[in-house]
Structure 1
Amino acid sequence: MSTLLIQLCIALALHGGTEQHGVAPHYAKGVMERVAARRGLPAEACMVSSPIHPVGAHVWVWGERTKVLLRCLVADVSGPNDRARHLRTGRVIELGYASTAAICGNTTGPARACPVWVMRIREE
């Protein structure tokens, strides 16, 4: 386990926040970048969609299989008709295509092949 991941777990325990475990499907190539641009957000190396975190927030995503930890911008959120299903099926985030290989290990597998942990430290 990386030192940064351990530090994040300690910060989460001390400051509060959210922590989720589930799976991460991904957007098609270029879609997350277009969504971010439409929302007036700067493009970042890692961008995600979240069913619980607001647009503009940052979350930490740890790929359980790859052991890669990235800080990601929430550029999109689950639609009102999709949110409950995403939570029920364990889709804790949807990755932008650009960060999928790093977090999941490939860009072709099903969501269940990409187990992740998502953390957001409460900002005071």
Structure 2
Amino acid sequence: MTMEILPTGGSIVGVKIDGGIETRDVRNLATLIEERLKSHGPLQVYVEVRHLGGIGPEALWEDLRLAFGHFKDFNRKAVVCDRGWLSRLADISNRLVPGIEVRCFSWDEKDAAIAWLENN
């Protein structure tokens, strides 16, 4: 699996991406989100991106369904990466999707990313 669910608790949902994203990855994430929403909300998302290898059409469809189905269930997303284009994408996302604040953090700032989510 190229998208791994990270051990987090409470309102934080964590994933690590290292390669392509497959349909089963998105479905596993959806199951976790549904479970967390039963006891927590809104949720925060923590994402570590080592390597983003793409996403197939079916996985993209599942991901879009998940995102639009839970649009109001998230308020922050921390992305830990070393890719400059992801930082620019986060800036664009903040303008286009009000209500979900996205911030990028470097690998040296992993603890700061989690603290930012916890202090919501």
Query: Which of the five TM-score ranges fits, normalised by the shorter chain?
Result: under 0.3
Q: Quick one: higher RCO (CA 8 Å, sep 6+), 1 or 2?
A: 1
Quick check: which one's helix share is greater?
2
TM-score by length of 2: 0.27
**Larger relative strand fraction:** 2
